[in-house]
Structure 1
Amino acid sequence: LITSRLVVMFAGQYDLSLLSWEPWIRKTETLHFTLSLLVSSGLLLITFLQTRASILRQQLKWVVWGLSLNAIPFTIFYAYPYLLGKEISLLQQAFATGASILLPISFGYSIVRYRLMDVDIILRRSMTYVLATVSVVVIFMLGVVKAGQWVHELVPSISQNATVALQVTIMSLAAMLFAPIKNWLQERVDRLFFGERYDNRRGLAEFGRTLSSTTEMTDLLSSLARRLGEMLYVDRLAIFIEQEASNKFHVAYSANLPIDPALSPEIINLALGSKHGRGYILAEQLSGSEDANRKLLDYFVPCYVRDRLIAIIGLGKTIEGSILTSEDIELVRGLSGYVAVAIENSLLYRSEKEKAFALAKLKDFSENIIESINIGLLSVDKEGYITNWNSALEELLAINRGDAIRHP
């Protein structure tokens, strides 16, 4: 259609017969636009009827209503009579075009109320690209346009080819400056949006490495919860850890929750299957309407180590009641690997600590038994060195225990 219109526009100046195609091109464009509105409305309506997630239904509900209330009046009052060659009254035009205001309103409400898109991310990136583009354009205008004038003023005898070469060089430099300018502006814009939380989000990898070196489980989980709260501005969270010799998970840490949530088998199965999916679970996905997790927590991020699900991080909405953005979820997913390694190390450390404590108690118990016997007893290791020498043997042989230990 675009090609046909361009051909008629330019070639019609030389061949007036091509101008007769103009009405057919306009009707084809109107038909194409009308079919696009109707088909997109139908597809969105089918998606709305098939989806089970309530948040997605709320998002689609407003979009479907806005698009349908725009498509139907336009089709009835404008497209249909126009394609049949009938005259369209001002009232029909008003009905057809007046409903168009519902489309941006419905999209805007869905975006603001139900987070149809990550508006803040779009706003930050758009602002960055606009500022970077303006900066490069200013450099381009000053460099290319003014540079040629300045060169001619300084060196009047310079050739045109040399001036063009200089301008091309400046254009190349301006293009190369776009990326560093964009990155610099992106950092400034992020600092403006996030404030004190910016440093917490930027130092994620360093925090993950620090977390991996923490061996005490209590310190590890409290540090993780504090960092997540500062980074995402959330207050409701829970950390679930796998129980030994079972596929169940228990709450190892929770904050600002009226009760300790329990992970249903459905969440665990979804978590086991999410490694190769989008990597997190929405509470809206859960089929059980009575599931308490849907009221307490909104997101569940699995933590894997060597393809083994070792923990699940549960998060609520922000303190302000907003839904987390896709960027927030990606930050938690990036941290989940460090969390899994840290929790596994802590569990191994605790297991070894418990084994060492049990061995120490067993050793004390055996020594107490040997010490309580009235006859002289000693024990040796496999190399034949004395490892124990009771008090009865000290009295019989008049050799102190300290002098006998570690002797053959």
Structure 2
Amino acid sequence: MPFALLLLGLAVFAQGTSEFMLSGLIPDIARDLRVTVPAAGALTSAFAVGMVVGAPLMAVLGRRWSRRGALLAFLCVFLAVHVAGAVTGSFEVLLATRVAGALANAGFLAVALVTAADMVEPEAKGRATSTLLGGITLACVAGVPAGALLGQIWGWRAAFWAVALLSVPALVAVARSVPGGAADPTPPPLRGELRALRAPRLLVTLLSAALVNGATFCTFTYLAPLATEAGGLSGAWVPGVLALFGAGSFVGVSVGGRLADRRPVPVLVAGGFALCAGWGVLALGAGDPVPALGMVFLQGALSFGVGSTLISRVLYAAPDAPTLAGGFATAAFNVGAALGPWAGGAAIGAGLGYRSPVWVSAGLVALALAVALASVLAAPALRPRRTAPSASDAAR
């Protein structure tokens, strides 16, 4: 993999840390800014919505910029809003910085995905995608726990300063290492790219990616109460459980990236069924800590192995949308990140217990498999029918 691609992964690590770190900082933010905990929780929702809406919009905005210029612009905005968030005493300003940061993050990831795909051979897009998404898994393993620790020691603002400082070397690295080049004076027509993104095969892949990622974050969001309430572990185990899931995710995205280019169908079919069954096994066995911890690692690996393969298939399936494919892939990823926690929270709120989000995860993956199967069965009906040759044609 090109060294510049690893540097893009560093920037994605910083941004992934920012996206998920608030889970351990919400109570402190609420107390410091004198708002309720549910109000402070809106900071997480605002970031998720900004990612979903911002990915395609920012991809459109950056169509006439060089890719290095777009990456630098988005990263500068991301750094600036984290400095603003670290110093503000206003909840409204902090909320605005989260939306702006999400837009910049979405734009960066959208451009980075297509940039990474162009840095490698045409048949290596899966490995390039997994390298970028590896930054997100490392954020789960190291960045989020580190942000929570900084918040406990020096306050929640320290976590924002840390993300801003981590963005500085990423900014320098992108400026020095990512290929530049002038902006394309004649990018593909926007209408043509949007038409290409309506292809049934691509829509199925995007929907499947959203559902699988929704399943991932549905359980990941509620791993702490699952471990303590259902598994009987003490609160001291929670960081380790989260890190175990993140470690599995890193393994999955690394292995999945190597297989996604050569054997994508076996990865998606076998991995999808194993992922669905694994969520069921985890839900049933959550009360026994030892096998449950093993399943947490395995499900992290399967989730990101299958999920990263689906994202790479979006790039393969959209050659006629070179500037927007990354934006729609990013949006699908974050639709899942918003859908999953909401669905898991609704299940818990309905009194179904802390194992219920894991069952919801199993249902979301099962739905993704059903959608994929239905698209395969419907494919022959969508192809143009060949009419029998007429007598005059046969005589020619």
TM-score by structure 2 length? 0.20
Q: Is the strand fraction higher in 1 or 2?
A: 1
Q: Is the helix fraction higher in 1 or 2?
A: 2
Higher relative contact order (CA 8 A, sep 6+): 2
Asked which structure has the greater CA Rg, the reply is 1
